[in-house]
């Protein structure tokens, strides 16, 4: 049994992550985390002083783990479409491996991590998308891609894709088709830029 002095925030959050995956987010309490660690609930208060703070910490770790998985999935030597498809597949694998904490992270907006942290996490993905869609369209393209990936994953986790077929193939095809559409937009933007520069030349 650990002594209270041996409990730290990382240990508490790790135990909470385990409990959420095993028992679901709705049953999570500081008391249950403390009991699983073999200490009294007040021992946790110096690190997380409420259930909301605990959920926020769990969400922060979950999203950090997700983006770490995406980072390791990226092969900088591959073309942008292949890089983004690899990211999408890694994203889906993570959600399926951590369904409860993944859903919790995206359904508790009041307990989201710091917005600046989230932006820093997603910027490398936007830079890959910019190579496909063009810089000017990269944010819109990124938002659409994440909506596609997240929506597909949430439908799967809620068992709403029930009409058969190969969901692995359907997912990859959907992402690839989306990227192909933005590649057309990006190519048009690239072709338009020299003309715009020419028109801006002084007469």
Segment 108-160, tens digit of pLDDT: 988 888 888 888 889 999 999 999 999 999 999 999 999 999 999 999 999 99
Q: Note the pLDDT tens digit of each residue in 167-201.
A: 999 999 999 999 999 999 877 666 655 544 444 44
Domains and CATH numbers, the chain: 1-49 (1.10.10.60), 62-199 (1.10.357.10)
CA angle 184, 182, 91 (to 5 degrees): 150
Other CB atoms closer than 10 Å to residue 160's CB: what's the count? 9
Give one DSSP letter per residue of 42-81, joined into a string.
GGGTTT--SHHHHHHHHHHHHHHHHHHHHHHH--TTS-HH
Asked whether the beta carbons of 63 and 105 are under 8 A apart, the reply is yes
Q: What torsion, rounded to 10 degrees, do the Cα atoms 124, 107, 85, 174 define?
A: -140
Closest C-alpha to 56, from 117, 5, 2: 117
pTM over 0.75: yes
Structure tokens at 108: 């508790």
- Give the residue carrying structure tokens 């949430």: 154
């Amino acid at each position: 049994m650990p002594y209270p002095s041996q409990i730290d925030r990382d240990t508490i959050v790790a135990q909470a992550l385990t409990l959420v995956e095993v028992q679901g987010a709705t049953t999570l309490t500081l008391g249950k985390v403390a009991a699983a660690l073999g200490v009294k609930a007040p021992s946790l208060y110096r690190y997380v002083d409420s259930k909301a703070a605990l959920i926020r910490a769990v969400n922060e770790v979950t999203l950090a783990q997700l983006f770490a998985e995406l980072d390791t999935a990226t092969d900088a030597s591959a073309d942008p479409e292949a890089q983004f498809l690899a990211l999408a597949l890694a994203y889906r694998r993570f959600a399926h491996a951590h369904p409860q904490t993944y859903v919790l992270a995206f359904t508790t907006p009041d307990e989201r991590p710091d917005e600046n942290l989230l932006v820093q996490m997603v910027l490398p993905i936007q830079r890959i998308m910019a190579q496909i869609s063009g810089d000017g369209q990269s944010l819109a393209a990124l938002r659409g891609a994440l909506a596609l990936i997240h929506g597909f994953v949430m439908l799967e986790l809620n068992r709403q894709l029930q009409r058969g077929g190969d969901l692995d193939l359907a997912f990859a095809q959907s992402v690839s088709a989306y990227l192909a559409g933005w590649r057309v937009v990006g190519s048009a933007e690239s072709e338009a830029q020299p003309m715009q520069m020419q028109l801006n030349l002084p007469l």
